[in-house]
Amino acid sequence: MEILICKVIKGDLQVLEDLTYDRRKEFLRKHHLPRELPIILFHTEASQTATLPMVIPLGAAVAACA
């Protein structure tokens, strides 16, 4: 994942940390949004790690990140 974000897309890994459930909740606590704007937070986690490395075409990876 680090290679994809840093080398291929020329991005920053910090953005992945900012997408965590706890960071999103913290952001919404600090930045009050209008009440008429509905907000839903989702928390997901993998209960089982992948046993095989996942290989996808570069175009698909870039499209998934767009």
| 18 — pLDDT class (breaks 50, 70, 90) | confident
Regarding predicted confidence, which is higher, 14 or 51? Answer: 14
For residue range 45-66, list pLDDT tens digits in order. Answer: 767 666 655 566 667 777 777 6
Q: Which residue has the tokens 């994942």?
A: 1
CB atoms within 10 A of CB 9: 13
Regarding predicted confidence, which is higher, 50 or 32? Answer: 32
Residue 5 and residue 1: Cα distance in Å, rounded?
A: 6
pTM of the predicted model, to two decimals?
0.37
Residues 40 and 34: beta-carbon distance below 8 Å: no
| 32 — pLDDT class (breaks 50, 70, 90) | confident
